[in-house]
Amino acid sequence: MAKIYNIIIPLSFLGLWISSMVSKDIEIFFGFILIFTFGILHGSNDILLIDTISNNKKTYPFIRVITTYLLTVFISVFVFYFMPLLALILFIAFSAFHFGQQHWEHHNLEVSEILKRIYYFLYGMLILNLLFIFNTTEVIEIVISITNYEIKNNSIFFLLTVFGVLYLLIASFIAYKSNSFKSKILIELFYLIVFSIIFKVSSLIWGFTLYFILWHSIPSLYEQILFIYGNFNSKNLLKYCKTALPYWIISIIGIVIVYFILKNEKLFFAIFFSFIAAVTFPHTIVINKLFSNKKTQPNK
């Protein structure tokens, strides 16, 4: 994973350079292109992951797996339509845990599983609140378009303060317990500074894109390919992409249809984030199962 980060860091600064050279509209355009490619691709192989995780293939036949997965997506869409505020809160919570788990799961934190999961959630919430605090106007507009509920600037600052303090408390306790964690404090502080600079300089969509693609999707793709095929190389990457292609195409067709039906910008952003959320819920569960399964299996 260290080799992946050695690539991600210079790409992050390249993203900052792009942000300084182009307009906000072009940032958003490039952001959607990356999200529709790498972003959706990294979650397109959940069915294959479920099949790989399952030790007894008869217990999880393909039709049952895909039916359960699609049902979860449809329930998510239903909740977003009828209870958008609740759905948005759940989306942020699931995303926070998912981001935190992906970033920290390969580290040995030397604490209980419950404390690890609390830490994953708080780390993810810290990242998301940093993104929100530097783009409050855009965040407020999107929340209004999704929920018709207007949040205040000071509410976003309050959330950042609360989750920041909770994160520091849990991180301090883990640092006290774990020498492995203490050895990573400086580099992780550097990462947080990089994230803050990206979120400050970029628009909401571009800042989210740089984190979501570079710091989440690419490491996730690496972990998934390593888990499925036992080794990360160009051949296995191509195999992964070929398997994911049908699901990726279906996802793209869905969002294109939504775009042509709802061309209003604010409404489209609302549907776009709802679409991402609907896919995030089952994907988070699958990836959590992947990491749990890795702990019970010998290294490939």
Give tens-digit pLDDT for 194-212.
999 999 988 888 999 999 9
For residue range 17-54, list pLDDT tens digits in order: 888 888 888 888 888 888 888 777 777 667 667 766 66
Residue with tokens 């993810």: 124
For residue range 57-85, list pLDDT tens digits in order: 455 555 666 676 667 767 776 777 788 88
What is the pLDDT, as a whole number, of residue 107?
A: 84
197 domain residue, yes or no: yes
140 domain residue, yes or no: yes
Mean pLDDT in the chain? 82
Quote the CA–CA distance of 92 and 104 in Å, as a whole number.
Answer: 18
246 domain residue, yes or no: yes
H helical segments located in the chain = 2-21, 24-34, 40-41, 46-53, 62-82, 84-104, 113-133, 136-147, 153-177, 179-182, 185-201, 204-209, 218-229, 234-261, 265-295
237 domain residue, yes or no: yes
List the domain range (segments joined by +) for residue 199. 2-289
Angle at which helix 265-295 crosses helix 84-104, to 10 degrees, equals 40
Its sign, for the CA torsion 188, 194, 197, 199, is: negative
Quote the CA–CA distance of 53 and 227 in Å, as a whole number.
Answer: 9
267 domain residue, yes or no: yes
296 domain residue, yes or no: no
Quote the CA–CA distance of 231 and 300 in Å, as a whole number.
Answer: 8
Residues 6+ apart with CB under 8 A from 192: 126, 130
Count: domains in the chain: 1
299 domain residue, yes or no: no
List phi, psi (to 5°) of 274: -65, -40
What is the pLDDT, as a whole number, of residue 295?
A: 56
43 domain residue, yes or no: yes
For residue range 265-277, list pLDDT tens digits in order: 555 666 666 667 6
